[in-house]
C-alpha cells in the first residue's frame, strides 16, 4: 500500500522511482487522492503507472504528433491514428489494415522472445480491427556483429532476433515479406526490432477499438494471464541497466500455437457480426486495453477480477491487471451473442472468460474477492500528463573533410560490397517463409534461380478476385538522420517512395515507427521534432496520408544513445500485378539511363562510413522532380525492362544489384554525370533511379522524361560488369565474381 497523501517530497520521489513516475506526476496523484479523501489501492497506483508511462500515453511526443501529424489524411483513408491499426481503402469492397510497432527493449534482454512477441503483438493489432493478417514486415537494427561488449554478443542478438521472427511468423502461416537490416556500433546492446503487419478486411466488417454499448459483456480470450511480462511498459520507458534484476521479470517467449487458432476464432465471430469492439492485450495488459477501449467509447465498466483465467493462482490482483502475457484478446460482445461466441471458441479450443460488463458511469470499478479494489475516474486514469520538453539544436560538428583516394577500385569494391550493410540479405530472409498463403507475387528476391538479387519492394495480391496488389517496403537511413534529422528523414521517405515506384506501384500510405534515445535530452528531442516535421512536410508535398505510427524513446544503454531511427513503412498500390517490372537487367544491348538527381555529397553514405570520413551536406529535396519521375515512369511502363533506385552503396551497388539477377551486366561510362568519380559511384542522396529501357523505344522514353534530369550511362552486356569514368577504369569483372563477394557477406555471422 502506498501512503501518498501523507508523504513528503523525499518519500514521493522514492515511490515515483519504484513506479517509473516523476515527482511532479506523484504530486498530481497526491492532489487527486487528497480530493478523494483516501490513498490509492495497489491496483489503482499500478494502473496509473502503466497508463502514464511514456509507452502508453506518449507524454513526451504527443504535443508534437498533434502539431505535425493532424490532418495528414486522404479521401481513401478510413481510420487513421485513432484505433489500434490504420484502415485504408483498397477497392470498393475491401480495405487494408496496417500497423508497425517497436519491440526494442524486450529484444535487447531476450532477443528470441522479444522479437517473436513483437511479431505476435503486431498480428493481434491488425486482427483486432477484424482483418485477416496477410503479410509481416520487420526492420531490424543491430550492433556491430563483431562486437562482444554487451552481456549478450551482437552475433547472438542477430541470430536470435531473426530466429524469433522466423519461428513466430512461420508457425502462424503468415508470410514475412519485407523489411530491412542495418548494422552499426551505435546499436550495440540496444537492437531495434520494428515489426509491421498488413491485413485485409471487408469494409463492412471493420471492428473499432472501442465499445459504446451499455450492458455489453467484456471477454478475455486466448492465452491465460500470468506473471510474465509484468511492467514491460514501464521498462520500455526507462533506460536499460543490464544489471537490473527487475528487467528480467518482463521476459516472454511467445506461443504462436495459441495465437494461430485465436485468429480463426476471432475472424469467424466477426464474420457473424458478433463483436462490438475489440482490442489486443499488449503493453500495459488489461489495464491499458480495458481503460482505453471504454474511454474511447465513452462508457465505463464493472470488472470482476476473479473471473480472469490465470496461469498461476498466487497472483496479486494488481499483477493480474497489468500482466502483459501474450496471445490474449479483449472483446466486447452483446449478451444475446454469448452462446454463439462460446460455440466458436469451443470449436477452436480457445479459452475465454467473461470478466465484466459495460455501464454508464465516470469511474471504472474493479471487484476482487467481493471487495471493491478500484474505483477511479477513467478520464484521469487514461489522459495522463503531457510534456513539452526542452529541445536544443546540437552544435554542428563540422570536421574538415579529408578526401581519401582509392588506389585500386577492384580490390576496394570486392571488399566494400561484402560489408554487412551492403551484402545480400539471403542469410536472414531465407529463414522466413515469404510465400505461405500463396499471395506473394514479387518476392524479396528476384531473378533466375540461384542468381537472385534484391527486390526493391515486395508485392502481394491480397484479394482473391482482384489483380490489384500492394507493394510493401520498410527501412530507414539513420546515418543521414544522425547528420541532419530533417533532411535525413526526407531521404528515408524518398527511398521508400522510390522502392515503390521501382516495383511499379503508386505510393499510397505511410506508417512510421520512430525510435529515439532519451527525450529528456534536449538534443534528442530536437532530432525527434525535426523528424516529425519532415514526415509531415513530405506527406503534404507528395499528397500522401500518414496512417499510423509508433514512438519508442529511451533506446539507450548506459550513456550511449542509438542513432535517431525513424523507420518508414510505405505501402503502394498496383492496379494489375501481372505487369510488374523487376530489378534485374533483362536482355543484352538495351540502353541504361539514370533519371532524377544524384546529390553531390557523400553524407551518410556507406562509403563514408567504410572509409571513416565525415561528410555533412544533405540538401533539400525537389518534390516536383520526384512527382514528375513518378508520372513519367507510369507513362513509360511499356518501354521499361528493369528499374532500381540508387540507395545504400550508391550508383555502384544499384548497377551491381541489377546485374546479379540474370547474368546480364552493364557496360557503363559515368563521364556525363556531375562530380568526382567517388561521388558518382557512392552518393546515396537524391531522387535518382536507374532504368533499363527496351532499345526499340529509346527515343520515346527520352521524350517522356524531358523535364527531369536524365542521362544515359551505358548499355547492358552479357556476363560482365564494366564501369569506367571517362579515362578511369573502375571495374571490369565477371558478374559471378562480384556476386560471390556480395552474396556471402553475412556468412560468418548468421
State the residues that interact with another protein by CB under 8 A: 109-113, 148, 152-153, 156, 160, 226-228, 248-249, 251-257, 311, 349
* Active-site annotation holds for 637: no
As a 3-state breakdown, the chain gives helix, strand, coil percent values, each rounded to 5, of 35, 25, 40
Phi, psi of 286 (to 5 degrees): -55, -40
Identify which of 402, 381, 269 has the alpha carbon closest to the alpha carbon of residue 334. 269
User: What would the DSSP string read from start to end of 316-336?
Assistant: -HHHHHH---SSEEEEEE-GG
Q: What minimum distance in Å lies between the beta carbon of 198 and another protein? A: 25
Complex with another protein: residue 142 or 416, whichever CB lies closer: 142
Complex with another protein: residue 165 or 301, whichever CB lies closer: 165
Q: What minimum distance in Å lies between the beta carbon of 253 and another protein? A: 6
Complex with another protein: residue 227 or 712, whichever CB lies closer: 227
Q: What minimum distance in Å lies between the beta carbon of 147 and another protein? A: 13
- Whether 579 and 503 have beta carbons less than 8 Å apart is answered as no
Contacts by residues 696-703 (CB-CB < 8 Å, ≥ 24 positions apart):
697/636, 697/638, 697/639, 698/591, 700/636, 700/639, 701/593, 701/636, 701/639, 701/640, 702/593
Other beta carbons within 10 Å of 28? 16
Provide CB contacts within 8 A for 73, sequence distance 6+.
Answer: 80, 545
* Active-site annotation holds for 644: no
Provide CB contacts within 8 A for 499, sequence distance 6+.
Answer: 456, 457, 471, 473, 570, 645
Q: What minimum distance in Å lies between the beta carbon of 166 and another protein? A: 14
Compute the distance between CA of residue 222 and CA of residue 258 in angstroms, rounded to an integer.
7
Q: What minimum distance in Å lies between the beta carbon of 222 and another protein? A: 13
Complex with another protein: residue 242 or 676, whichever CB lies closer: 242
Complex with another protein: residue 261 or 675, whichever CB lies closer: 261
Complex with another protein: residue 322 or 651, whichever CB lies closer: 322
User: What would the DSSP string read from start to end of 495-526?
Assistant: HHHHHHHHTTPEEEEEEEEEE-S-TTSHHHHH
Q: What is the largest CA-CA distance in the chain?
A: 88
Complex with another protein: residue 254 or 297, whichever CB lies closer: 254
SS3 712: strand
CA-angle at 673, arms to 671 and 678, nearest 5°: 85
Q: What minimum distance in Å lies between the beta carbon of 303 and another protein? A: 25
Over its C-alpha atoms, the chain yields an Rg (Å, rounded) of 26
Q: What minimum distance in Å lies between the beta carbon of 148 and another protein? A: 8
Please write down the HEC assignment for all residues of 476-491: CCHHHHHHCHHHHHHH
User: Catalytic positions, please?
Assistant: 55, 103
Amino acid at each position: 500500500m502506498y501512503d501518498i497523501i501523507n508523504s513528503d517530497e523525499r518519500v514521493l520521489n522514492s515511490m515515483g522511482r519504484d513506479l517509473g513516475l516523476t515527482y511532479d506526476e506523484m504530486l498530481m496523484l497526491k492532489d487527486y487522492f487528497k480530493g478523494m479523501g483516501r490513498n490509492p489501492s495497489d491496483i489503482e497506483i499500478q494502473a496509473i503507472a502503466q497508463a502514464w508511462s511514456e509507452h502508453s500515453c506518449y507524454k513526451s511526443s504527443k504535443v508534437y504528433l498533434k502539431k505535425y501529424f493532424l490532418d495528414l489524411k486522404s479521401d481513401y483513408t478510413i481510420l487513421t491514428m485513432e484505433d489500434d491499426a490504420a484502415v485504408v481503402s483498397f477497392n470498393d469492397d475491401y480495405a487494408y489494415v496496417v500497423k508497425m510497432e517497436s519491440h526494442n527493449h524486450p529484444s535487447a534482454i531476450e532477443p528470441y522472445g522479444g522479437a517473436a512477441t513483437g511479431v505476435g503483438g503486431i498480428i493481434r493489432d491488425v486482427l483486432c480491427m477484424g482483418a485477416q493478417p496477410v503479410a509481416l514486415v520487420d526492420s531490424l537494427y543491430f550492433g556491430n556483429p563483431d562486437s562482444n561488449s554487451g552481456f549478450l554478443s551482437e552475433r547472438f542478438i542477430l541470430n536470435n532476433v531473426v530466429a524469433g521472427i522466423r519461428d513466430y511468423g512461420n508457425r502462424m502461416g503468415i508470410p514475412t515479406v519485407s523489411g530491412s537490416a542495418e548494422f552499426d556500433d551505435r546499436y550495440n546492446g540496444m537492437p531495434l526490432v520494428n515489426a509491421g503487419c498488413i491485413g485485409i478486411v471487408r469494409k463492412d466488417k471493420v471492428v473499432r477499438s472501442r465499445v459504446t454499448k451499455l450492458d455489453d459483456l467484456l471477454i478475455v480470450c486466448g492465452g491465460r494471464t500470468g506473471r510474465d511480462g509484468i511492467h514491460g511498459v514501464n521498462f520500455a520507458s526507462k533506460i536499460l541497466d543490464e544489471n537490473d534484476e527487475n528487467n528480467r521479470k518482463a521476459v516472454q517467449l511467445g506461443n504462436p500455437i495459441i495465437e494461430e487458432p485465436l485468429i480463426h476464432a476471432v475472424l469467424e465471430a466477426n464474420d457473424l457480426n458478433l463483436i462490438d469492439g475489440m482490442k489486443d492485450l499488449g503493453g500495459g495488459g488489461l489495464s491499458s486495453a480495458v481503460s482505453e477501449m471504454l474511454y474511447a467509447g465513452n462508457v465505463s465498466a464493472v470488472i470482476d477480477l476473479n473471473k480472469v483465467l490465470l496461469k498461476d493462482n498466487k497472483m496479486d490482483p494488481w499483477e493480474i491487471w497489468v500482466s502483459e502475457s501474450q496471445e490474449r484478446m479483449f472483446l466486447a460482445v452483446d449478451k444475446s451473442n454469448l452462446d454463439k461466441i462460446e460455440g466458436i471458441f469451443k470449436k477452436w479450443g480457445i479459452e475465454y472468460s467473461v470478466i465484466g460488463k459495460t455501464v454508464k458511469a465516470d469511474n471504472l470499478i474493479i471487484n476482487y474477492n467481493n471487495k471493491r479494489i478500484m474505483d477511479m475516474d477513467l478520464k484521469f486514469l487514461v489522459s495522463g500528463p503531457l510534456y513539452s520538453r526542452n529541445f536544443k539544436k546540437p552544435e554542428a560538428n563540422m570536421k574538415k573533410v579529408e578526401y581519401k583516394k582509392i588506389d585500386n577500385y577492384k580490390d576496394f569494391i570486392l571488399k566494400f560490397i561484402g560489408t554487412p550493410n551492403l551484402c545480400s540479405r539471403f542469410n536472414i530472409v531465407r529463414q522466413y517463409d515469404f510465400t505461405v498463403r500463396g499471395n506473394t507475387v514479387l518476392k524479396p528476391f528476384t531473378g533466375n534461380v540461384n542468381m537472385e538479387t534484391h527486390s526493391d519492394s515486395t508485392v502481394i495480391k491480397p484479394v482473391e478476385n482482384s489483380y490489384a496488389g500492394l507493394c510493401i517496403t520498410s527501412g530507414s537511413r539513420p546515418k543521414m538522420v544522425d547528420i541532419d534529422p530533417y533532411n535525413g528523414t526526407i531521404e528515408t521517405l524518398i527511398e521508400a517512395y522510390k522502392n515503390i515506384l521501382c516495383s511499379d506501384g503508386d505510393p499510397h500510405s505511410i506508417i512510421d515507427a520512430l525510435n529515439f534515445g532519451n527525450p529528456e535530452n534536449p538534443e534528442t528531442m530536437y532530432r525527434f521534432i525535426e523528424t516529425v516535421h519532415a514526415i509531415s512536410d513530405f506527406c503534404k508535398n507528395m499528397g500522401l496520408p500518414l496512417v499510423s505510427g509508433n514512438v519508442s524513446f529511451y533506446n539507450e544503454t548506459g550513456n550511449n544513445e542509438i542513432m535517431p531511427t525513424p523507420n518508414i513503412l510505405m505501402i503502394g498500390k498496383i492496379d494489375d500485378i501481372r505487369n510488374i517490372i523487376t530489378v534485374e537487367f533483362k536482355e543484352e544491348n538495351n540502353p541504361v539511363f539514370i533519371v532524377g538527381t544524384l546529390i553531390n555529397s557523400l553524407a551518410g553514405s556507406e562509403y563514408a562510413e567504410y572509409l571513416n570520413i565525415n561528410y555533412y551536406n544533405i540538401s533539400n529535396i525537389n518534390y516536383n522532380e520526384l512527382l514528375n519521375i513518378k508520372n513519367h515512369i507510369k507513362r513509360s511502363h511499356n518501354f521499361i525492362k528493369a528499374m532500381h533506385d540508387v540507395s545504400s552503396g550508391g550508383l555502384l551497388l544499384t548497377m551491381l544489384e541489377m546485374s546479379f539477377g540474370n547474368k546480364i551486366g552493364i557496360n557503363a561510362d559515368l563521364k556525363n554525370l556531375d562530380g568526382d568519380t567517388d561521388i558518382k559511384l557512392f552518393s546515396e542522396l537524391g531522387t535518382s533511379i536507374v532504368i533499363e529501357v527496351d532499345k526499340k523505344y529509346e527515343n520515346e522514353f527520352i521524350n517522356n522524361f524531358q523535364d527531369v534530369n536524365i542521362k544515359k550511362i551505358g548499355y547492358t552486356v552479357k556476363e560482365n560488369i564494366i564501369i569506367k569514368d571517362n579515362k578511369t577504369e573502375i571495374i571490369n569483372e565477371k558478374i559471378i565474381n562480384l556476386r560471390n563477394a556480395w552474396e556471402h557477406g553475412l556468412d560468418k555471422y548468421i
